[in-house]
Structure 1
Amino acid sequence: MRLVLLGPPGAGKGTQAAILSEKLGVPHISTGDLFRANIGEGTPLGVEAKEYIDAGRLVPTELTARMVEARLNEPDAAEGFLLDGFPRTVEQASILEDLLSKQGVSLDGVLNFQVDEDVVVERMLARGREDDNEETIRTRLGVYREETAPLIDHYGDAIINIDAVGEVDEVNGRAMDALSALPR
């Protein structure tokens, strides 16, 4: 199964991705993990990404896409994957569609984890991270609304909305029920 995970920061995508990855038997591919792995291993892509990160700049879409493409070409992703953190923009979604069409495959769906912004703020403040204050969280939510939320319209009928409020197992149950309803 080939899926993209969407949802605002704090929606629980990472938590759900770990569970879904195990249940579906496909790798969870997080762009954050990809950056860390490539940088840690000193790959050419990692060296290039580190230069941007060290300078406090965003890693360009083209470089992120090359990392994602390399990861999707690994054997464990041949039968499917969960993409978390890519695409973040409509431009990146088009790049992903091109990468997948080169492989002769397409997405099975796009899970959109829905949660009210006030709930997100509460969740993220409860984590107690130093960099999580209400102003920073609301700024991140604004960036999500501007850059990533347009993907919901872009993907249209492929969107599978999941109510992300509740216990982890409840949310996962909703996601698994929705996925089991997909045509095989």
Structure 2
Amino acid sequence: MILLGPPGAGKGTQAARLVARYNIPQLSTGDMLRAAMAAGTPVGLAAKELVESGKLVPDDVVVGIIRDRIEEKDAENGFILDGFPRTIAQADALGEMLAEKGVALDAVIELRVDQSKLVDRIMKRAEEAKAAGQPVRKDDDPEVFKDRLDAFNRDTAIVVPYYEKAGLLKVIDGMQSIDAVTQAIELELSALDE
């Protein structure tokens, strides 16, 4: 499964609930890259060399890391991709790799939100973190957040029609309460079993 949506849409919150409910891992490409580099896998070493020279890690290396990661035991019953794919080229590469492995995506869940209200949501999240004595995420700064939202709209939003055309996209109203969003996702996923 893939979770799509702009920053602040609630992907991390919903992914954590899906992990707990279905006992499948959430695969963050950033976390996987760091783990592969630390483990010294062939793909990780290639990524480390690129990162250390200040270059972006190309799609084929990221897909290779995903390929390696989904072969681990905890992913045998499924997995959630969060933060990938971000481009059509990545979506194509992911689809080819999954097809080679005989694995199909069950669903692509888009948390659709009113972007004009996201800055307020992020500011509230930062205030709640402060009040609870927790550190405030760097990306919860309104200016940083706006830059991330612009990047999402410029680069990543185009992946939504790609998966819609493929018949995999399930749209969830991400402006509902957290519990209502969870319930809507579970309803979509249970319909897949029928």
Q: Same fold (TM over 0.5)?
A: yes
Say if 2:59 and 2:93, in contact at 8 Å, map to a contact too. Answer: no
Name the residue aligned to 1:137.
145
Name the residue aligned to 2:169.
159
Change (3 A) 1:152 1:132: same
Q: Aligned letter for 1:77? A: A
**Deviation per residue, 1:58-83 (Å, 9 max, x gap):** 32212111111111222322221111
Aligned match for 1:116, one of 114, 117, 120: 114
Percent identity, please.
42
Q: Aligned letter for 1:99? A: M
- Work out which of the two has the higher radius of gyration on C-alpha atoms and give 1 or 2: 2
Cα RMSD, aligned residues only: 2.0
**Deviation per residue, 1:93-122 (Å, 9 max, x gap):** 111111111122211110001112233222
Shift of 1:183: 4.2
Question: How many residues of Structure 1 are paired with residues of Structure 2 in the alignment?
Answer: 182
* SS of aligned partner of 1:106: coil
Change (3 A) 1:105 1:42: closer
Aligned match for 2:74, one of 76, 87, 111: 76
Name the residue aligned to 1:18.
16
* SS of aligned partner of 1:67: helix
Q: Aligned letter for 2:59? A: T
For residues 56 and 107 of structure 1, what CA distance do their matches in structure 2 show?
33
Name the residue aligned to 1:150.
158
Name the residue aligned to 1:35.
33
* SS of aligned partner of 2:172: strand
For residues 11 and 87 of structure 2, what CA distance do their matches in structure 1 show?
17
For residues 46 and 119 of structure 1, what CA distance do their matches in structure 2 show?
38
Aligned match for 1:170, one of 162, 171, 180: 180
Asked if 1:179 is matched to 2:189, the reply is yes
Name the residue aligned to 1:60.
58
Structure 2 length normalisation: TM-score? Answer: 0.83
Name the residue aligned to 1:97.
95
**Deviation per residue, 1:27-56 (Å, 9 max, x gap):** 211112212322333434334333444455
Q: Aligned letter for 1:166? A: Q
Structure 1 length normalisation: TM-score? Answer: 0.87
